[in-house]
Structure 1
Amino acid sequence: MSGGALVRRRALLGSVVLVSLVALAGLFSYLTRDSRAANNHPSGAPSSSSARASTQASATPGGRAAALPAPPSTRDPIAFGKAAAAALWSYDTRAYSQPELVAALHRWLTTEGQYVDADSVERQVPSPLLWGRMADSGQFATAAAAEAHFPESFTRALKADPGAITRAYVYAVTVSGKQSISWTGSPEGGAEDRSATLAVQCRPDRPCALVGVMPSVAP
């Protein structure tokens, strides 16, 4: 996609969410930022104390290879947001390639092209070069989403204009959890706390889908 088209799409998404949800803090700057903004890839090594977490979208206990993450069939934006965050924080270089993971995450996205921001989701996946280095050591990450809620700015906006949500049915969901990273020779690995604010679309007549990932966390 060209830079101009990308900016127009993000501007449109920003307009829809800002108008529909009445100005969720920071979203417009996210959607209209330069497309060359720095990637937010997971690091290639753990950064905190040892721990483990698990998710259906990641490697199973005991080091068995994981299946690719599949979206749940739910109309609950909170439940979907927790599942999506766990999928975004999980990977297994032993079980599949970087393009295969990206393709799997695309299946979580809304099919409504005027809203979706696939680039923000792809930036959560390690780059092909980093993935190759991680694969050399058999690195994988598991994740668990412990808590999710609508940000205060979202709930205030919804109270001010309850009918606004019916324009796009896009919800902001802030998720907190933990990511654990392991690799060959270090089965226990290390863990760190993670949090993210996701844009989730849940129309009444279909299961929820992911719209995008915001660059900052809305409390």
Structure 2
Amino acid sequence: MRKRLPSLPLPFCAVGWSNNKRIAIVALIVAVLVAIAATVAWLSGNGNSPQSPEVATAPPADSPSSSEAAPKPATGSGAVPAPPQIAEPVAYAKAAAQMLWSYDTRDTGRDQQLAGMRAWMTSETAYSDWASVSGQVPDPLLWSRMADQDQYATASVTEGHYPSAFKQALADDPSAITQAYIYVVTVNGKQQIAWTKGGGGAEARAETLAVQCRPNHDCSLAAIAPSVTQ
């Protein structure tokens, strides 16, 4: 039996957050500050007719930040369950892991799978690593071939816990959680895969997830950590 963990773990960015992600977050903050500064300067002009500032245009249709980032299929999310209303990090991470390890190509298209997964993500873009989550879904060609075989997967979760590195970070700086309220949880379980003509197999699964659980709010998924820590 694992020891019960403290109620105030550290944010995910303190453990395992990639340098690229840190750079992206800093770049986002700088961009916001620049935009605010430009707006203030425009509003406080000296009376001359101001020239409209340049703004970023919408990404092209083939951009990874458009259809892949936020798919909106007209037929719902297929077999992907809606995110649960859970405010406890470990319980939410376990539900999220079960969702990530499950799929059903018999009644769910790839865009539906992505849209269903997207609904579990935090709306705070500064802390959302959608690429780490959407990268779990096979490319369109492979998904199509899986669908030809009516392939589907079910999952069961055996346990979830805060990794030791995360607990150590908590001991070093308990107050850091108040910035993002992002928790790191390692989940263990099993995935069962099946396809036509009785094909199938099973394997043990382990995933380390970052979930955001702000006070008085339901949790949401922030990222899949780059590696499993015990």
TM-score (norm 2): 0.68
- Report the Cα distance in structure 2 between the residues aligned to 1:178 and 1:163, rounded to whole angstroms: 35
Q: Which amino acid is 2:17 matched to? A: L
Residue 117 of structure 1 contacts residue 211 of structure 1 at CA under 8 Å; is this kept in 2? yes
Write the deviation string for residues 151-183 of structure 1: whole angstroms up to 9, x where unpaired. Answer: 101011112211110110000000010000000
> Matches of 2:203 and 2:83 in 1, distance apart?
24
CA deviation after TM superposition for structure 1 residue 119, in Å = 0.8
For residue 23 of structure 1, what is the aligned residue in structure 2?
14
| Correspondence for 2:50 | none
Q: What residue in structure 2 maps to residue 143 of structure 1?
A: 155
Matching residue of 1:4? none
Q: Quick check: 1:200–1:209 contact (8 Å CA) kept in 2?
A: yes
Aligned to 1:157: 169
Do structure 1's residue 113 and structure 2's residue 104 form an aligned pair? no
Partner SS, residue 153 of structure 1: helix
Structure 1 residues 95 and 30: alpha-carbon distance in aligned structure 2, compared to 1, 3 A threshold: farther
2:209 and 2:11 map into 1 onto residues whose CA distance is 16
Equivalent-residue separation in structure 1 for 2:154 and 2:177 (angstroms): 33
* TM-aligned CA deviation for residue 27 of structure 1: 2.5
CA distance, structure 1, for counterparts of residue 125 and residue 222 of structure 2: 9
1:176-215 alignment, distance < 5 Å: 176-186=188-198, 189-215=200-226
Q: Structure 2: which 5+ runs fail to align?
A: 1-9, 24-77
Q: Aligned to 2:111, which of 68, 88, 99?
A: 99
Counterpart of 2:227?
216
| Equivalent runs, 1:36-185 vs 2, <5 Å | 67-185=79-197
Change (3 A) 1:31 1:22: closer
CA distance in structure 2 between the aligned counterparts of 1:22 and 1:86, rounded to whole angstroms: 23
User: Which residue type is aligned with residue 107 of structure 1?
Assistant: A
Identity rate of aligned residues, in percent? 50
Change (3 A) 1:181 1:22: closer
Aligned-residue offset at 1:128: 1.1
Tell me, in whole angstroms, the C-alpha distance in 1 between the residues paired with 2:120 and 2:217: 13
SS at match of 1:114: helix
Residue 116 of structure 2 aligns to a residue whose secondary structure is helix
- Matching residue's letter, 1:173: V
Distance in 2 (CA, whole Å) between partners of 1:69 and 1:116 is 20
1:93-124 CA-to-partner distances (Å, cap 9, x unmatched) read 00110000100100000000111011111011
How far apart in 1 are the matches of 2:132 and 2:121? Answer: 11
Contact kept, 8 Å, 1:21 with 1:157, in 2: the verdict is no
- Residue 125 of structure 2: SS of its match in structure 1? coil
Q: CA RMSD in A?
A: 1.9
Shift of 1:218: 1.3
| Unaligned residue ranges in structure 1 (runs of 5+) | 1-18, 34-65
SS of equivalent to 1:31? helix
Normalized against structure 1, the TM-score is what?
Answer: 0.72
Moved over 6 A (4+): none
Structure 2 residue identity aligned to 1:78? V
Q: What amino acid sits opposite 1:205 in the alignment?
A: N
